Amino acid sequence: MQKVISAIVADIGKVLLGKEHQVKLALACLLARGHLLIEDLPGMGKTTLAHALAQVLGLSYNRVQFTSDMLPADILGVSVFERDSGQFRFHQGPVFSQLLLADEINRSSPKTQSALLEAMEERQVSIDGETRQLPEPFFVIATQNPLQQSGTFVLPESQLDRFLMRISLGYPTREAERALFQGVDPRAQLAQLNPRINSGGLKKLQALVGQVKASDSLLDYLERLVQHTRQSPECAVGLSPRGALALLHAARAWALIHGRGHLLPEDLQAVLPAVAGHRLQSDGTDGGQLVERMMHQVDIIAA
């Protein structure tokens, strides 16, 4: 199992140079059955990451470019009257895929955003009074431009909460960029990737995540972290129980990726910025810095 995971990480690493940490986070997010929000400037490799993941994990892949005039039906699908059979037939929208890349999600209207976010939460869609299951596994990788950019609708907190992690890729390292300049074409690399795992294997991996042990000492640390967010004057809002559970689950996936059967404080710390950052941010405060400070303040061993 461990080999498979390292192979996956290595494969994606070939396409997205020098971003091992982010790749692992994205993988952990998917293993923990969570959805991923990538926030970054255009051209940083968001789409490439999503594409590579789909490719390596052998998932059916759809990409939707969100625009401001988009309607929910454009994502979910629509019933069309067919003259031949004299009946309505449902045309599946892009949401019916195992991995959906929702590109620039904050460019669409809140109505459309919420249609997608609902599908993410329920893993099913209701159209014309009929409930349709989405395929299993079902991931959404959404990307959004930094909020300051023009023509964006802000995702409200309640909807941010639907994403297990929010990561940003950041500029590539010097070596990676040099490699790019020297003609390594990510797209060509992408085409060469083969699936390392099938959906059955993925399900098994997801099941394994749940078996990673969390000792009392570690849960104490988790509790201290959560309490800190609720009591510290710096945090406008504390971490919700769902947020705390998300943190634990993501850390488990992270531990699994690193081949451990039990959780270490490092695991929590590794996923903490990605899991808690967007949940703790509020007007005027940056979630990332807050989490950094929190990691330094909360004692790992004892209160």
Partner 1 sequence: MSAAHSQLQSLLPRESLLWIFAAQLVVLLPQFTHLPLWLVGAWCLAVYWRLEVFYGRREMPGRLVKLLAVTLAVAGLALTYRRWFALEPMVALLAVSFTLKNIELASRRDALLSLMLAYFLAATLFIFEQTIPYALYGIFSVVIITAALAAQQGRRSARPGRAFGLSAKLLAQAVPVMLLLFVVIPRLGPLWAVPQNAGGASTGISDSMSPGDFTRLSKSGKPALRITFDGPVPPPEQRYWRGLVYTHFDGRRWSEPGAGDGVVHWGRGRSGFHGGGGEDAQPLPAVGPRYRYQVIQEPSHSPWLFAMARPESDTRGVRKSGDDTLFYRSPLASRFAYEVRSWPRDSLPVDVGLGSRALQRHLQLPERGNARARRWGAELRARGLGAEQISAEVLKRFNSSFVYTLRPPPLGQDSVDEFLFSTQQGFCEHFASSYVFTMRAAGVPARVVAGYQGGEWVAREKYLLVRQYDAHAWAEIWLPERGWVRVDPTAAVAPQRIRDGLQSAAADEFMQDALLPLHKIAFLSRLQLQWDMINYRWYQTVVSFDQERQQGMLQRLLGEISPTRLALFIGAPVIAGLLLLWGWLKLSSRGPKLPVPGRLYLRFCRRMARVGLVRQPGETPGEFARRVEREFPRLGPMAERITSAYEKAAYGDDPRAERQLRRLLRGFWPLRIAR
Q: Is residue 220 involved in binding partner 1 (CB under 8 A)?
A: yes
Q: Is residue 234 involved in binding partner 1 (CB under 8 A)?
A: no
Signed CA dihedral, 178, 179, 183, 186: sign only? negative
Among the listed residues 255, 287, 295, 45, the one whose alpha carbon sits nearest the alpha carbon of residue 166: 287
Q: Which of 86, 129, 182, 303 binds partner 1 (CB under 8 A)?
A: 303
**Residues in Cβ contact with 222 at an 8 Å cutoff, skipping those fewer than 6 apart:** 214, 244, 247, 248, 268
User: How much helix, strand and coil, in percent to the nearest 5, is found in the chain?
Assistant: 50, 15, 35
Residue 284 or residue 303: which is nearer to partner 1 going by CB? 303
E strands in the chain: 35-39, 61-65, 77-82, 87-92, 99-103, 124-127, 130-133, 139-144, 163-167
Q: Is residue 213 involved in binding partner 1 (CB under 8 A)?
A: yes
Q: Is residue 110 involved in binding partner 1 (CB under 8 A)?
A: no
Instruction: For strands 99-103 and 139-144, give the pairing.
Output: parallel
Residue 161 or residue 292: which is nearer to partner 1 going by CB? 292
Residue 161 or residue 220: which is nearer to partner 1 going by CB? 220
Q: Is residue 300 involved in binding partner 1 (CB under 8 A)?
A: yes
Pattern 252-281, partner 1, x by CB under 8 A: ---------xxxxxx--x------------
Stretch that binds partner 1, among 78-86, 135-143, 176-184, 216-224 (CB under 8 A): 216-224
Beta bridge partners of 61: 99
Number of chain residues interacting with partner 1 (CB under 8 A): 23
Residue 123 or residue 262: which is nearer to partner 1 going by CB? 262
Q: Is residue 78 involved in binding partner 1 (CB under 8 A)?
A: no
Q: Amino acid letter at 44?
A: M
Q: Is residue 297 involved in binding partner 1 (CB under 8 A)?
A: yes
d(CA 54, CA 298): 37
Q: Is residue 296 involved in binding partner 1 (CB under 8 A)?
A: yes
* Residues within the interface to partner 1 (CB under 8 A): 213, 215-218, 220, 261-266, 269, 294-303
